[in-house]
Amino acid sequence: MNIRYDLMPESSRRKLPDTKEPLPFGQLRTNHMFLMNYKDGAWTDPRIVPYGEIPLMPGAMCLHYGQTIFEGAKAFIHDDGEIFLFRYDKNCDRLNHSARNLCMPEIPTDIQMEATLRLVDVERDWCPKMPESSLYIRPFMFASQDSLGVKPANEYIYCVMLSPAGPYYPGGFSKAIRLLITSRYHRAVSGGTGTSKCGGNYASSLQAQEYAHEHGCAQVLYLDATNQTLEEVGTMNHYHVEKDGTFVIPTFNDSVLKSITSQSVLELAGMSGLPVSIKARQETIRLDNFLNGVKSGDIIEAGGFGTAAVISPVGSYLLEDGSEITVGTGDIGDYSRAFYDYYSNMQIGRKPAPEGWLRKVERY
């Protein structure tokens, strides 16, 4: 791919803030972004340009009919000073899955990969070194055609932007959160776009999130449309841990987004020769069985898996009748902590990762 570089002069570039305080999540921007346009059936004009506004007509179809998808990934600096993307091929695949679901054009994985590798190379000084930090990668695509007809657009813009970031939740991996279990809201239903990372799914989750905050909870644990089985935690996959240390994740279906962290847990559980023993499986989890398991002590830990936070342990669940159920001791459990430590150390190169999980950012 012939990428055009239109870079800011060195003297005009901002730098990563010099601070010992944790970086905010999702608020900082690097100096440049990657852009590419789709028209007449082809992706054209790949370029790295200064971060800034993207011209868009008022009739752009993304603004009216929601053809917009995105991904979230991370790059990490290792002790040798080199930067690595973590499982970015999985993000490329999932972006294309979302594109197919929303009738948008796919982008070959090698093009997505090269675009991000080259952008991160330009911005490598923005990769933070402090604990629980990363260079967060946000690729996204949206319909840019100026038309008011309800149909798939024929023009799109693909962009990759970067954000040096600290932990998703303030305080990082230091405190268990509380979740609200409610039948009032549902994230997605069978036959919809639940397996896609599309803007509409996240817009519809905001009301539930605010409802959870009003009740002193970090997020909602969504149930299926019949309110019988567990599905997701806000923007994460749910998990719980049994007495023998097995991680149990709700079965992926057409209303659950496949978290790359969850997929990694399941893949690691099938590998031998790891420095830690990981056990994991998927199953359909009935709400009543889950609550009874927590109450009886058969379920000793619980939480959410996701790229932004990796693991968010759950200390308790608030029910709609106002009662609260504590998981284990209410603190971060030993199995969740051990997995978080191992997974995080894989990302920064201090523990061995399976072949192909890390992609070095070359110096182009």
pLDDT tens figures, 251-263: 999 999 999 999 9
Q: Closest Cα partner for 341 from 296, 276, 244, 272?
A: 276
E strand or H helix at 304: strand 299-306
**The pLDDT of residue 270:** 82
Which residue, chain included where needed, has tokens 């996701």?
306
In sequence order, what are the residues at sequence separation of 6 or more whose Cβ sits closer than 8 angstroms to the Cβ of residue 260? 87, 90, 91, 94, 307
pTM tops 0.85, yes or no: yes
* Per-residue pLDDT tens digits for 120-140: 999 999 999 999 999 999 999
Please give the Cα distance from 89 to 105 (Å, whole number): 18
So what's the pLDDT on residue 49? 98
**Residue 251 DSSP symbol:** P
β-strand partners of 279: 246
Give the pLDDT score at 316. Answer: 98
> 46: helix, coil or strand?
strand
Contact in structure between 223 and 233 (CB atoms under 8 Å): no
Cβ distance 93 to 356 under 8 Å? no
Nearest to 302 by CA among 339, 344, 253: 339
Residues of the chain with pLDDT under 50: none
Residue 56: the pLDDT is: 97
Helices (H), 108-220: 109-122, 199-203, 206-214
Question: Rounded to 5 degrees, what are φ and ψ at 150?
Answer: -85, 95
